[in-house]
Structure 1
Amino acid sequence: MNTMNHWRRLEATLRGEFADRVPVALWRHFPVDDMDAGKLTRLTLEWQQKWQFDLLKFMPPGTYGVEDWGAKTAYAGAANGARIVTEPVVRRTEDWERIRPIDPRLGAYGQQNFALAQTARNLGGAVPILQTVFSPLTTARKLATERLFADIRCHPEAVDAALRVITDVTIGFCLEAIRAGAHGIFFATQLASHRLLTTAEYERFGKKYDLEILDAIRGQCRANMLHAHGDDIMFNLLSDYPVELFNWHDRLTDPDLRRARRHFPGVLVGGLNEHHTLLHGGRGAITHEVQDACAQTGGRKLIIGPGCVLPVATSDASIQAVLDAAQLAEAQAA
């Protein structure tokens, strides 16, 4: 089979056809440096040029969506490079009223799409780029931290009013990302978990607004990915979202890839345990996980990826082992 470029490989995978090899996409944070648009652009380009992944998940700091409303954030040394909220905006129920409309072309929101535009210009369309977008309920949790759960149950109208504003801002950000050169979005929800909310609660405060966003960009993207973060995710509730790709911690929580295939018709993204195997497993363990992911899916409609962002300590040797294993899986299938 002739070697494909990134787009042909992805497009064949989306159609459910065998490509020249199973596609690979890995992503990581660049802590502290990611707060500067120029540095984020440079590091993103270096990352993609070094590894030639088949899909580039753009990696803004995970707190960009709350800073323009006044939240204070910091990098506190998390292994995955993520920032934390040190001073939330919503401390009392009445603070939800502070969530007023903002312009996503400005401030922290605007900086992310400026960096994406610079990255896209340099890559010249050679690789699919997805901008990272957080669900409105995920943003609400970062604005209020754990207070969100009490207010959902005791003051739902206050939360709904804030979610209306957040949703509209998020839609504007998505449309700006597409104009900046994104080929789709990586839509991350961190609350679609049975450990955090009931199904009815997520349907009202989560899915309702999620689908508004996905509907607003319908027909304007070449591929969108849904990421469900955490344990005991509401996979069945999410499996009808209008996205082409679905990513979750398949090595750490149900369902595995084989069972997920029964519910989601699109491309599954996963197969790797980034917390253990990529850090401590060695080449043999990494090869086994890639081969097992291919076995579970028949090698179709699969992109090899992590359950979430890579630890910043992930070695070059581990990343190379993933790429080598993907080539090996293709050779064995042939």
Structure 2
Amino acid sequence: MTTKRERFLKAARGERVDRPPVGAWIHYGSSFWTPAQVAEAHLRFYRQYDWDFIKVMDDFRLVLPDGLEEITDPAQFEGIVPDPAVSLPNLEKQAEVLTIIRAEAPEAAIIDTIFSPTQTLVRALGETVIDYFKADPALAHRTTARVAEALAKYAASLAGLGVDGIFLAINGASTDATSFGLSHQQFHEWIEPYDIQVLEAAEGLVRIGHLHGEGADPDLLGNYPFEVLNWSDKVSRPTIEETRPTYGWVPMVGMDEINSLYWTPSKAREELLAARKAAGDALIVAPNCTLHSDGSPLLLTALRDSVDLPLE
């Protein structure tokens, strides 16, 4: 009998399985919770819907120097992760969450979420980070390099915690506001190399690239070392059909994270079956991005049950 963990790992390698693995994720608003509370929320969600994998959300923000709320002087960036060799408190908490989940759900595949180094900074300090970086690319490199080193060190430790994969959220390759108006040149110069550093550190795990945003360009990720692509296929390339043949990535896709809030269960099943057919059932069935936390439980049940439906 195929276990949930085996099913996920085989599918991520492009191997045939008894049915596609399925899972979902939401934000729990847990940035101020204890690791035990965060783990419990994930485990409840996992058990309620009988997912194959647990994607652990990364809601603990980078800890800032005392008294710093936002950058008002470029010199303040030097105090952000001044020594990347020192363990970061937010990552220590995340590691504790992962340890608890692995002990409580040994049968499940576990995926840890890591935001790209630049997005890690934006999540902690706000979008003005990008303005400072555009004005001083050398500052962007110095600061992002330190964050990337800390994240890479953390990514390299995940296998020892029993984690099966990482989900790297990639910002900067789309045409909407989530890419902060970055040009392709800026993306290649001070986004791409640091994302790749983190992914390379996670070699041996299933590496999932999340191409975030509308109008995203998968061709910008040609040098990224990951095996699975998660993206909003209705508003960005590639199509599900071309993902594997053209790029070599296993698609992790199926449920529109925006419009599904108003779907009926039958609509959800229709869309999910269409995604399975488009991929020839060689996919991981999942939301295209984080689902609304107030979405209908009936839709989540439809998502889980969709992998048990026969393809016509």
* Same fold by TM-score greater than 0.5: yes
Choose from 238, 243, 246 the match for 1:263: 246
Q: Which amino acid aligns with 1:272?
A: M
Per-residue deviation, 1:50: 2.0
Provide the rounded CA distance (Å) in 1 between the counterparts of 2:67 and 2:271. Answer: 39
Question: 1:171-320 maps to which residues of 2 (within 5 A)?
Answer: 171-195=152-176, 196-219=181-204, 221=205, 223-277=206-260, 279-300=261-282, 302-320=283-301
Choose from 62, 66, 80 the match for 1:66: 62
Question: Is residue 251–residue 271 contact of structure 1 (8 Å, CA) maintained in 2?
Answer: no
In structure 2, what is the equivalent of residue 47 of structure 1? 45
CA RMSD of aligned residues (A): 2.2
Query: So what's the TM-score if we normalise by structure 2?
Result: 0.90
In structure 2, what is the equivalent of residue 332 of structure 1? 311
CA gap of 1:284–1:194, structure 2 versus 1, over 3 A, is same
Which consecutive residues of structure 1, in runs of 5 or more, have no partner in the other structure?
A: 73-86
SS of corresponding position for 1:224: strand
Provide the rounded CA distance (Å) in 1 between the counterparts of 2:287 and 2:41. Answer: 20
In structure 2, what is the equivalent of residue 82 of structure 1? none
Choose from 4, 7, 27 the match for 1:6: 4
Provide the rounded CA distance (Å) in 1 between the counterparts of 2:217 and 2:281. Answer: 25
Per-residue deviation, 1:272: 0.9
In structure 2, what is the equivalent of residue 166 of structure 1? 147
Per-residue deviation, 1:184: 2.2
Q: Which amino acid aligns with 1:5?
A: T
Provide the rounded CA distance (Å) in 1 between the counterparts of 2:202 and 2:41. Answer: 28
Provide Cα deviations, 1:150-190, integer angstroms capped at 9, x if missing partner.
Answer: 33332111111101111111112223333222122111122
Per-residue deviation, 1:116: 1.0
After TM superposition, the structure 1 stretch with the greater mean CA deviation from structure 2, 259-268 or 131-140, is 259-268
Provide Cα deviations, 1:36-67, integer angstroms capped at 9, x if missing partner.
Answer: 21111111111222222122111131xx2422
Provide the rounded CA distance (Å) in 2 between the counterparts of 1:207 and 1:178. Answer: 23
SS of corresponding position for 1:317: helix
SS of corresponding position for 1:258: helix
After TM superposition, the structure 1 stretch with the greater mean CA deviation from structure 2, 287-296 or 34-43, is 34-43
After TM superposition, the structure 1 stretch with the greater mean CA deviation from structure 2, 11-20 or 164-173, is 11-20
Per-residue deviation, 1:4: 2.8
SS of corresponding position for 1:110: helix
Which consecutive residues of structure 2, in runs of 5 or more, have no partner in the other structure?
A: none
1:150 paired to 2:135: no
SS of corresponding position for 1:309: coil
Question: Is residue 101–residue 165 contact of structure 1 (8 Å, CA) maintained in 2?
Answer: yes
After TM superposition, the structure 1 stretch with the greater mean CA deviation from structure 2, 317-326 or 251-260, is 251-260
Query: So what's the TM-score if we normalise by structure 1?
Result: 0.84
Provide the rounded CA distance (Å) in 1 between the counterparts of 2:66 and 2:217. Answer: 31
Question: Is residue 93–residue 155 contact of structure 1 (8 Å, CA) maintained in 2?
Answer: no
Question: Is residue 58–residue 114 contact of structure 2 (8 Å, CA) maintained in 1?
Answer: no
Question: Is residue 248–residue 308 contact of structure 1 (8 Å, CA) maintained in 2?
Answer: yes
Per-residue deviation, 1:323: 1.9
